[in-house]
Amino acid sequence: MPGTSSRSRLALMWRRWRLRWVRATQPVLGPFRARWRRSLMVRTMTITGLVTGFVVLIAGVFILSSISEDLTSSRRDQALQDSARATLAAQHDLDASDASDRGSLSTLAASVRRTVQDTSSSQMVYLRRQSGQATFPEAPPPSFTNRMLVEAVSPELAREVATSTEPQHWQPVTFVAEDGTTAPGIVVASSLNFPAGAGTYDLFIGYKLSDTQDTLSFVQRTLLITAAAMMAFIGILVWIMSRVVFRPIRAAADTSRKLAAGEEDARMPVQNDEHFDVMSENFNDMADTLQARIQELDDLSEMQQRFVSDVSHELRTPLTTIRLASEVLQGQQGGLAPGQQRAVEVLGTQVDRFEALLGDLLEISRYDAGRVTLETEPTNLVSLAHEVVDQLQPLSAGVIEVRPLGGYSPVDVDARRIRRIVSNLVGNAIEHGEGRSIVVSIDSSASAVAISVRDWGIGMTASDVEHVFDRFWRADPSRKRTLGGTGLGLAIAQEDAAVHGGTVEAWSRPGEGSNFRLTLPRSEGITTFMSPLPLVPEDVAAEDGDPQATGGWLRRPFRRTRREKRR
């Protein structure tokens, strides 16, 4: 329909204009908008200031207009009375005169002008014969005392005097001096009847209102100063009241921030208000309860960590004995029956796996205890990736390709831990790659370096990706394992990346394979960085238009792990 189409175009034009306006004002209004959204105190003070300013503006305009109207009306009435008095005096002189020739009439006109000047408070007088009358040669010519008045008289005012029966007429004007300066004023017009048939003359008397304008300017300045002082006073009052009213809220926010930062003894102070004091007591009771629960959890966690560490250490002695016995049995395999030889091989394999599990448990316990040792050295990640691939290539049925797009510059990392991360990622790709090719990509930027491992295997669902870094979690426990494993590899890889300030992320889709990406900052001072490699593979992104294909901004993860040594 035409109406609907017009409304759609108007809505589109409105959205475009609004978008341009937002972009144009973003540099100026952006910080204020952010502050407005975050601070209730700013919103309260701004709204109060706007409402107060609006009220002060309305009151000031009303007062100023009332005073202006009153002063103007009073000055106009004075001018009308003054003009009426001068007109009566001038007409009295005319009525008492017997002038009949041109000379005596001209003298009479000059005398009338002086009488008006002496009788009125104005010295601007303009006297001229009214238009539309019969020609009278003896009539005196027009006379005036100030040219500003002659230029200010409008044809409308002269017409009103000639046609109306009212004794007086007035008009607001602006007097323009020879030097170009202007002054407000009014012109009062009336009629005078000259003797000897000279006819009717128009009498114009001008009154400057400069004193009235000065008074209005003074009142306006006074009102502006008073309004500014009032706004400043109200602003200070609102700020003080806001500080007082929002102080309990700030106290609660500060206390919660301290609690979140780990200050267990932080408590909300009493605010000397019955309602806020109830909130403070409840808040402090909640903090006490949380502290007690956290302490219990810390004790349980410490007991668990100690138990894992102690068990891992205690199991090493019997494990060493079992390994020695296994090695003795493996040395005597020639004299054993085939079934016994198979049992000896299984025993050796499980002993190796048990030893790897103990090592991983000890490593996890170190991370849980927050005691990690980093031995950093300049490391070329391209060479490191080639070394890992060369070691694991014999275990893969497909080709493992290394694509070094960047990353040749050495980075200070713990090479042993980074090698362990890459080995875990490549090992998982071999395990779940269905014998297809695997691509290991390396790239870098000014702030970060990244390694991604892409396979085209069975893939995982979105729910599986959420748990892929959990300890002892497996996507399909029933699958045959090519490399063996403890179920802690990816969990340890995530901890190894976090202790470097980096991240390990995973993307996967059933039937399309998986992509694991390791991103490390180039230096300790970098807190935010963008991975130079996409998390979503380029072939999938090109097909689906996934916005994550170009990567996203990352932050150094917050970890409780403490680095004890970094060389």
Confidence category of residue 485, pLDDT binned at 50, 70, 90: low
Average pLDDT score over the chain = 80
Same structural domain, 182 and 75:
yes
Confidence category of residue 112, pLDDT binned at 50, 70, 90: confident
Q: Is the model more confident about 184 or about 343?
A: 184
Q: Is the model more confident about 65 or about 567?
A: 65
User: Is it the case that residue 473 has pLDDT exceeding 60?
Assistant: yes
Do residues 430 and 483 lie in contact, with contact meaning Cβ atoms separated by under 8 Å? yes
The answer to whether position 331 is within a domain reads no
Q: Is the model more confident about 510 or about 100?
A: 510
User: Is it the case that residue 559 has pLDDT exceeding 70?
Assistant: no
Buried residues in 98-136 as b, exposed as e (16+ CB within 10 A): ebeebebbbebbeebbebbbeebebebbbbbbeeeeeee
pLDDT value of position 515? 92
- Residue type at 10? L
In whole angstroms, what is the distance from residue 466 CA to residue 551 CA?
18
User: Is it the case that residue 517 has pLDDT exceeding 90?
Assistant: yes
Structure tokens at 496: 């190894």
- Residue 549 belongs to domain with CATH number: 3.30.565.10
In whole angstroms, what is the distance from residue 533 CA to residue 515 CA?
11
Confidence category of residue 545, pLDDT binned at 50, 70, 90: very low
What is the helix (H) or strand (E) element at residue 171, kind and residue range? strand 169-176
Confidence category of residue 51, pLDDT binned at 50, 70, 90: confident
The answer to whether position 549 is within a domain reads yes
Q: What's 133's DSSP letter?
A: S
Same structural domain, 198 and 118:
yes
Q: Of 152, 180, 215, at which residue does a domain stop?
A: 215
The answer to whether position 533 is within a domain reads yes
Structure tokens at 300: 């349980």
pLDDT value of position 472? 74
The answer to whether position 354 is within a domain reads no
Residue 507 sits at φ, ψ, to 5 deg, of: -130, 140
Average pLDDT (196-207) is 86
Residues spanned by the domain of 84: 65-215
How many distinct structural domains can be found in the chain?
3
Average pLDDT (322-336) is 71
Same structural domain, 550 and 495:
yes
User: Is it the case that residue 540 has pLDDT exceeding 70?
Assistant: yes
User: Is it the case that residue 312 has pLDDT exceeding 80?
Assistant: no
Do residues 404 and 387 lie in contact, with contact meaning Cβ atoms separated by under 8 Å? no
pLDDT value of position 288? 85
Same structural domain, 26 and 123:
no
Question: Considering only CA atoms, which of 460, 457, 449, 471 is closest in space to residue 531?
Answer: 449
Confidence category of residue 311, pLDDT binned at 50, 70, 90: low
pLDDT value of position 544? 47
- Three-class SS state of 111: helix
Same structural domain, 146 and 20:
no
The answer to whether position 353 is within a domain reads no
Same structural domain, 31 and 148:
no
- Residue type at 15? R
- Three-class SS state of 431: helix
pLDDT value of position 452? 93
Same structural domain, 404 and 540:
yes
What is the helix (H) or strand (E) element at residue 539, kind and residue range? helix 538-544
Name the β-bridge partners of 529: 554
What is the helix (H) or strand (E) element at residue 188, kind and residue range? strand 182-194
Same structural domain, 89 and 5:
no
Q: Is 272 left (phi over 0), alpha (psi -120 to 50) or beta?
A: left
Buried residues in 169-193 as b, exposed as e (16+ CB within 10 A): bbbebebeeeeeeeebbbbbbbbbe
End-to-end C-alpha distance for the chain, whole angstroms = 75
User: Is it the case that residue 526 has pLDDT exceeding 70?
Assistant: yes
In whole angstroms, what is the distance from residue 38 CA to residue 198 CA?
85
User: Is it the case that residue 416 has pLDDT exceeding 50?
Assistant: yes
Of all residues in the chain, what percent carry a pLDDT higher than 90?
Answer: 11
Q: Is the model more confident about 511 or about 337?
A: 511
pLDDT value of position 12? 76
Same structural domain, 14 and 70:
no
The answer to whether position 258 is within a domain reads no
Judged by average pLDDT, the poorest of 24-38, 426-440, 473-487 is: 473-487
Judged by average pLDDT, the poorest of 67-76, 91-100, 118-127, 390-399 is: 91-100
* pTM, rounded to two decimals: 0.47
Average pLDDT (140-164) is 86
